[in-house]
Amino acid sequence: MQAPYTNLKTHHKWVEFSAEDTTLNLSNASVEQLQEWKQQLSAEYDNVLARKLNLDLTRGKPSAEQLSLSDAMDGILAGDYITASGIDVRNYGGLEGIPEARAIGSDILGVPVENVLAGGNSSLTLMYQTMAIAHQFGLAGEGSAWSQEGTVKFLCPVPGYDRHYSVCEHLGIEMLTVAMTSTGPDMDQVEKMIAADPSIKGMWCVPKYSNPTGVVYSDETVERIANLGNIAGKNFRVFWDNAYAIHDLSDNPVALANIFEACKAAGTEDSVIQFASTSKVTHAGSGVAFIAASDTNLKFFKLALGFMTIGPDKVNQLRHAKFFAADGALSAHMAKHAAIIKPRFASVLKHLEAAFSDNDLGEWESADGGYFISFDTRPGLAQKVVKLAGDAGVKLTPAGATFPYGKDPQDSNIRIAPTVPTVDQVEEAMQVFVLCVKLASVEQALANS
């Protein structure tokens, strides 16, 4: 069995105390030593309080500088509203989206165009709609609605994305947690749970640069997820939210195996539904979202969608298609995003390395893409660290947000989102973050001594 995510990290040496160049070896420290550290750290913390900072590491959204990369989309149609195949995008219709937009989704997700629908601005909306449709009407026709089978449960790899949990909660779907490992969800646990409980109807997955751990699912994990449809009942659906499919920071990004192909090989095409969007590619509030699925899933999705809309915003879809029309335009555009984000990630990682690579005060994964870095404090300290940082003017995502029902059983996970602040602001915020982790850890050790 895979070790849990939190046990896989390798940062276990002793830290250098910033002010005194002192090693913060909490486990072996005497009470006197702990008291002395507490005094020093508290004095530093008081200095920070006096600076009345106002910094924010909560928001997983593009910075204004990133948004500006796509401003040329504005006016790009220049009065030409007709697609290559003659569709007037100003008019009603075209439930599946225009072919050019579906082609972008096909590129991002590695799925044939026929199996991709290009929708409105939000993949979260598509996920909500898909889940609501699966629950109430079913994605495989007569008799496939989850609601007909009583209790419905979903597997949630943790830590994960809070809005996935909100969708389940809103639709009355129970959530069961599964540990994340450095290769994806703990698949031994997943397979065991699904085999034992037919009321588990699906699982959330963010397979590349997972929110918040940054983990990319290994080839073996992808293959095992594709095979889940052979273990679970026919109405089981993995929600494969590939929100960060093209959001690489490294020049040699790890490739994610193609789940569509893997499902085909396993004979489970209906068991996985994929999602993506250009929210963090172009303008976050006015991108294009995609759903990719088997012919059957797409047929029943569209059947229900047809009651909700006559068609998506095709004008915006055509703007995107024109913006990315040139060969290589999309990857060149993503490289510009990476150039902006990279120094922010580097700053976060630099501070974590310097403060915690030599001790057991915190653990993290260094992500090569996506929008987040996930940090685990010693158990029982996340809420305290978030409060200390907040009081010192550094806003962090509320502790617990990365777990269903907002409850982190270990109270240790904190999501760091460094894209919006400037590099200088990230630097300053991380100094405070590190200080708060140290202070909370020393106070806890003192209380337990």
Ligand X SMILES: Cc1ncc(COP(=O)(O)O)c(C=O)c1O
**Could you list the residues that contact ligand X (CB under 6 A)?**
60, 122-124, 161, 206, 211, 241, 243, 277, 279, 289
Report, in angstroms and rounded to the nearest whole number, the Rg of the chain calculated over CA atoms.
23
User: Alpha helix (H) ranges present in 85-218?
Assistant: 99-109, 123-136, 162-170, 187-196
Return the number of the residue (182 or 279) whose C-beta is nearest ligand X. 279
- Which two structure tokens, joined as six digits, stand for 267? 């004979």
Q: Whose Cβ is closer to ligand X: residue 107's or residue 443's?
A: 107
Residues 6+ positions from 153 with CB-CB distance below 8 Å: 173, 174, 175, 176, 197, 199, 200, 201
Which two structure tokens, joined as six digits, stand for 61?
Answer: 């959204």
* Cα–Cα dist 222/187, whole Å: 10
Least spacing, CB of residue 101 vs ligand X, in Å: 14
d(C-alpha 255, C-alpha 253), whole Å: 6
What is d(CA 65, CA 63) in angstroms, rounded to the nearest whole number? 5
Residue closer to ligand X by CB (options 15, 334) is 334
Nearer to ligand X by Cβ, of 122 and 402: the residue is 122
Q: Measured from the CB of residue 401, what is the shortest distance to ligand X in angstroms?
A: 12
Token output for 284 = 């976050």
Classify 240 as helix, strand or coil: strand
- Smallest CA-to-CA distance from 371 within 215, 211, 250 is with 211
Cβ(204)–Cβ(163) below 8 Å: no
CB of 449 to ligand X, least distance (A): 40
**Smallest distance, ligand X to C-beta of residue 156, A:** 12
> Which residues lie below 8 Å from residue 233, measured CB to CB, with a gap of 6+?
198
- Bridge partners of residue 414, in order along the sequence: 375
- Minimum CB distance to ligand X, residue 415 (Å): 10
Least CB distance to ligand X at residue 310 (A): 21
Measured in degrees and rounded to the nearest 5, phi and psi for residue 326 equal -70, 150
Residue 60 or 214 with smaller CB distance to ligand X: 60
Cβ-based nearer residue to ligand X, 18 or 125: 125
| For ligand X, the closer CB: 167 or 445 | 167
Q: Is 307 exposed, middle or buried (CB count within 10 Å of its CB: 0-12, 13-18, 19+)?
A: exposed
From the CB of 162, what's the least distance to ligand X, in Å? Answer: 9
Q: Which is nearer to ligand X, 204 or 356 (CB)?
A: 204
Largest CA distance in the chain: 79
CA pseudo-torsion sign 356, 180, 3, 219: negative
Q: Residue 281 or 445: which CB sits closer to ligand X? A: 281
Distance from the Cα of residue 85 to its chain's centroid: 36
Q: Phi and psi (nearest 5°) for 174? A: -75, 145
Q: Cβ of residue 249: shortest distance to ligand X, in angstroms?
A: 15
Between 138 and 214, CB nearer to ligand X: 214
Contacts of 421 (CB under 8 A, 6+ apart): 55, 56, 57, 63, 344, 429
Which CB atom, from 60 or from 94, has the smaller least distance to ligand X? Answer: 60
CB of 317 to ligand X, least distance (A): 14
| Least CB distance to ligand X at residue 266 (A) | 24
- Between CA 129 and CA 156 the distance in angstroms is 18
Output the smallest distance, CB 268 to ligand X, in A: 23
What does the alpha-carbon distance between residue 377 and residue 363 come to, in Å, rounded to a whole number?
7
